[in-house]
């Protein structure tokens, strides 16, 4: 995780807090494993915030791509911009 810049750490934390962002997406964009995300969250958050986050995501189907009940078909608003490798694409 030493290879992450401060703004990348902030983005990993933000993605980890999102219920529908799987750990695999974080791994794909930032080359950090689920265990490394957990360690990063433990080091960067207050202890009570970490416990609350850990309790919420542990076993959550939407945080693990293999546990999801769908492959595609997720709702996306037509007004939402496309995001490619953590960068907003121009229309």
State pLDDT tens for residues 46-73: 999 999 999 888 877 666 665 555 555 5
Given pLDDT bands bounded at 50, 70 and 90, which one contains residue 85?
low
Residue 38: the pLDDT is 93
Residue 81 makes CB contacts below 8 A (sequence gap 6+) with 88, 89, 91
pTM (predicted TM-score): 0.67
Tokens (6 digits) for 24:
């695999």
Residue 25: the pLDDT is 87
Q: How many angstroms separate the CA atoms of 11 and 79, rounded?
A: 22
First to last CA, the chain: 33
């Amino acid at each position: 995780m030493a290879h992450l810049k401060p703004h990348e750490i902030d983005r990993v934390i933000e993605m980890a807090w999102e219920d529908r962002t799987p750990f695999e997406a974080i791994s794909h964009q930032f080359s950090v494993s689920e265990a490394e995300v957990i360690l990063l969250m433990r080091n960067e958050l207050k202890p009570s915030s970490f416990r609350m986050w850990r309790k919420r995501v542990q076993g959550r189907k939407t945080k693990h791509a293999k546990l999801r009940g769908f492959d595609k078909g997720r709702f996306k608003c037509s007004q939402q911009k496309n995001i490619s490798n953590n960068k907003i694409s121009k229309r």
